[in-house]
Homo-oligomer: A and B are copies of this chain.
């Protein structure tokens, strides 16, 4: 299954926890794990705080300090910072599934991280089977 996701800002942490839970329900995945894989090189996936949006804003600020948008890069599309952030957070997340539900901690949400938007992004949802 592929989730089609529309981001609305240049840099954005988009909460996709509900869409992922809905996907595993539709896929009838009850035990095991789900692999999420973003098919782009200027976006990423991460798991972080789902309660206070200030956390996500702080993450964006820290990223901007670590990897400034302009810094004499060679890539002529000018978005090397987005590529770097993509590699630092990674293209995938794998989350255990128990009794049909994501086995996330209380404060964990799943985020599509947009680093060069707004764009339409694809996240592949692949169930993985557990040993009995």
Which A positions have Cβ atoms within 8 angstroms of B?
27, 29, 32-33, 35, 37-41, 46-49, 52, 54-55, 57-59, 61-62, 65-67, 71, 73-77, 80-81, 83-84, 86-96, 103-108, 122, 124, 126-131
- The answer, among B27, B29, B90, B96, for a CB contact under 8 Å with A35, is B96
A126-B32, A128-B131 in contact; A37/B94 too (CB < 8 A)?
yes
Chain B residue at minimal CB-CB distance from A74: B54
Contact (Cβ within 8 A) B131 A29: yes
**What's the least CB distance linking A119 to chain B, in Å?**
12
* Chain B contacts for A104, CB-based, 8 A: 39
* Chain B contacts for A46, CB-based, 8 A: 87, 90
Number of copies: 3
Chain A, interface SS category: mixed
A37-B103, A48-B41, A75-B52 in contact; A58/B32 too (CB < 8 A)?
no
Contact (Cβ within 8 A) B47 A74: no
Extra contacts besides A37-B103, A92-B94 (5): CB < 8 Å: A33-B126, A54-B75, A59-B80, A91-B108, A94-B94
Contact (Cβ within 8 A) A62 B80: yes
